[in-house]
Amino acid sequence: MADKATVADTIRAAPIQAANALLAVQAGQPNQITLAGIDAFARSQGLDAEDLAADMIERRGLLPSFVMAMKAHRVDLDAEDAGIEDANFPVDRLEDFTPRGRAFRCRLFVNGRFSGSGCLVSPSLVLTAAHVILSAWPGRADPTYDPIEVELSDGTRRCAAQKPIYVSTPTELEYQGKLPGEEASFGGFNDVTLIKLERPEGMRLGFADLPSECTPLRPRSAILLVHFPQGNDKGFGAGHISRVRGVTSRWRHDILTAAGSSGGPCFTTRFTLAGLHQGALAPYSRLVPARLFLDDIRTLVERDIAPPALWSLDGTTHGQLVIGRDLFFEAIAAAIRPTSRVRGIRVKRRDTTQGTTGLAYSLEMLTRTLARNPGAHRTVRINFETPGTDLLDEIRRRAILIDIDVPPTEAGAGVRAGETTLEATVNERATILAAQLNVIAERDQQLIWFLFENPLAGLTDAEHLGFEAFLAAVLRQPRLRLVVTGFETIATPGEEFSNASFADSDGAPGLVVEYFGLFNRRDVEQFLTRACNDFKVAVAPAEIAGRTNQILQGLSITNLQYSVADLKTVSDRAVSHLDYFHSLAEARP
């Protein structure tokens, strides 16, 4: 059945047919209303005649018969209305969407206070309404923002970048709680923003997919709203949309909302993004159609690629399993871009008494990850196996062994005997070597990675000096990268980053630091989920949680963390579950 906005627009477009239809549906009734009478009253009261007519037709219960009478006059008000598929949610797809929607939804906090709803739309990007994060009407093209945090569906909070990577503000009238009455007022003001999390949480929680194209919204279509009214989890809201008269950049809906629902995504009966809930428009609520902003955000979302991550070194259920190392893969992904501020990763042991167990494993993970694009990377591995070796010469020798044609350095290059200290001499040699390597990497359009393994014994003074000099020199070269495992007593010559979000920020280059030695329940769930994704089998989050319980049963836990000493037990227990998931994949026709 046509909504009142459609009726009002049709009365304006076809006044003669509307006047005749209105008389026809009131035949024989007392106190008939006419369009002429409504028009005269509306003018005297400063009201819109067509809106008043539509309202009076509905209040008298004449709307269905009026629509039919207009059809008799060859004006079909229902032509754009929802069909049966637009009004019903398929049960099987709803069952599939529900756990996904529960996982990718999130709450937004500004300055520590709950502000609105949103959802993950890629590994590290959250979509919400712009007014959710604006503390005041900006009044300028580049507003400032208060600290933003995102609470994810598992209860964890993550900081977001201080400045959104995309923002389109609402109109000034909307920010004041009003709605412009003309379509022209909405040009470029779409009240939507994309904010970037410090970690790619969408890798483990999933995210809402953007539709490849936007099908036009149709009046009376059913929608689902994923939101947190007043910050509370009340489930998904369900209702119908209708047009706003004279406006296409905003739509009404009849879902009951509250403060904090703003920014919540709305989905069609096909579970594609219909738009974002914006706010109240008494006695209705309103949404911003996705078609207004999808083209603007699509490229940004597509660029936010999930870091390549492994669940098994060889991709089999009986290979070396990878649990709780997401930050390692995130750091690799951040360092792969030649312009990145992140130049590699340091793996530090929380407890150095554990020996070097697991450290070499990090280098295997790197090698396997880079092997996915072998033409773009070369790796030089240095393990300090031969004591007393000149470290810089050893680095040069190992580079030559893998066909990196770095030229020899002449004795005393860059310095004169007696004119400088040993430390200055080593720094100069390291600088020359790193510069030579960078020229080769630039020529070949590659990154050269230097992988340093913690020695079983300590470093000699000469090795210590050469090591620190080479690290500092590499950080100054844009196409050289470092992976340092152990060496906790060696200072990082550049910045140390707690996560990979620093890659695109301004400042000095440095290394992401991963502390190795603990893992948690979410790491195991993510590991199982990643394996299932690799097998291309869909497993409900509840089943992943149940199997995680079995794997972790009886293990000692402190502050929600498990010791790396339990990783072998976890890996051994996980094999049977992985085999079961793999059998589901093999059983598919």
Residue 296: predicted pLDDT: 93
Q: Considering the domain delimited by 87-303, tell me its CATH architecture.
A: Beta Barrel (2.40)
359: pLDDT strictly greater than 70: no
User: What's the fold here for domain 326-515?
Assistant: Rossmann fold (3.40.50)
| 277 sits in which H/E element | strand 273-281
What are the residues whose beta carbons fall under 8 Å from the beta carbon of 14, sequence distance 6 or more? 70, 73, 75
Provide the pLDDT confidence category of residue 275 given band limits of 50, 70 and 90.
very high
User: Domain residue spans in the chain?
Assistant: 4-79, 87-303, 326-515, 521-587
Highest mean pLDDT out of 118-132, 193-207, 327-341, 353-367: 118-132
- Mean pLDDT of all residues in 357-374: 77
Residue 308 and residue 328 in contact, taking contact as beta carbons nearer than 8 Å:
no
* Residue 86 to residue 562: CA distance in whole angstroms: 48
502: pLDDT strictly greater than 80: no
Residue 354 and residue 565 in contact, taking contact as beta carbons nearer than 8 Å:
yes
What are the residues whose beta carbons fall under 8 Å from the beta carbon of 134, sequence distance 6 or more? 143, 145, 169, 175
Residue 544 and residue 500 in contact, taking contact as beta carbons nearer than 8 Å:
no
SS (H, E, C) 126-189: EEECHHHHCCCCCCCCCCCCCCEEEECCCCCEEEECCCCCEEECCCHHHHCCCCCCCHHHHCCC
Residue 354: predicted pLDDT: 61
* Residue 267 to residue 239: CA distance in whole angstroms: 11
78: pLDDT strictly greater than 70: no
- Mean pLDDT of all residues in 335-361: 77
Provide the pLDDT confidence category of residue 219 given band limits of 50, 70 and 90.
confident
Provide the pLDDT confidence category of residue 451 given band limits of 50, 70 and 90.
very high
Q: Which of 149-163, 216-230, 489-503 has the lowest mean pLDDT?
A: 489-503
What are the residues whose beta carbons fall under 8 Å from the beta carbon of 200, sequence distance 6 or more? 123, 124, 304, 306, 307, 330
Residue 352 and residue 315 in contact, taking contact as beta carbons nearer than 8 Å:
no
* Residue 261 to residue 278: CA distance in whole angstroms: 8
Provide the pLDDT confidence category of residue 58 given band limits of 50, 70 and 90.
confident
- Mean pLDDT of all residues in 15-23: 86
Closest CA to 152 of 119, 127, 174: 119
- Mean pLDDT of all residues in 512-523: 89
What are the residues whose beta carbons fall under 8 Å from the beta carbon of 297, sequence distance 6 or more? 121, 127, 166, 192, 194, 210
State the pairing for strand pair 148-151/157-159. antiparallel
Provide the pLDDT confidence category of residue 578 given band limits of 50, 70 and 90.
very high
Residue 211 and residue 221 in contact, taking contact as beta carbons nearer than 8 Å:
no
Strand locations in 321-463 (E): 342-349, 377-382, 447-453
pLDDT above 70 coverage of the chain, percent? 93
pLDDT (tens digit, 9 = 90+) per residue, 22-56? 888 888 888 888 888 888 888 888 888 888 888 88
* Residue 482 to residue 494: CA distance in whole angstroms: 12
499: pLDDT strictly greater than 80: yes
* Inter-helix orientation angle 521-535/567-587, to 10°: 30
Residue 271: predicted pLDDT: 94
Highest mean pLDDT out of 206-215, 247-256, 281-290, 415-424: 247-256
| 333 sits in which H/E element | helix 326-335
Highest mean pLDDT out of 48-52, 245-249, 295-299: 295-299
| Residue burial 483-503, b: 16+ Cβ < 10 Å; e: rest | bbbbbeebebbbbebebbbbb
- Mean pLDDT of all residues in 534-559: 91
Q: Compute the mean pLDDT over every residue in the chain, rounded to the nearest whole number.
A: 86
Residue 283: predicted pLDDT: 64
Q: Other CB atoms closer than 10 Å to residue 422's CB: what's the count?
A: 10
Neighbour order of strands in the sheet with 125-128:
157-159, 148-151, 105-110, 113-120, 125-128, 192-196, 166-168
* Inter-helix orientation angle 422-444/461-475, to 10°: 40
Closest CA to 459 of 513, 412, 394: 394
| 266 sits in which H/E element | strand 265-267
pLDDT (tens digit, 9 = 90+) per residue, 393-444? 999 999 999 889 888 765 455 554 455 688 888 999 999 999 999 999 999 9
pLDDT (tens digit, 9 = 90+) per residue, 130-160? 999 987 776 656 677 889 999 999 888 998 9
CA dihedral 225, 229, 232, 233 (to 10 degrees): -10
Residue 141: predicted pLDDT: 60
* Residue 366 to residue 362: CA distance in whole angstroms: 6
The DSSP secondary structure of 543-578, one letter per residue, reads HHHHHHHHHHTT---BTTBEEGGGHHHHHHHHHHHH
Structure tokens at 482: 């470092």
- Mean pLDDT of all residues in 156-172: 89
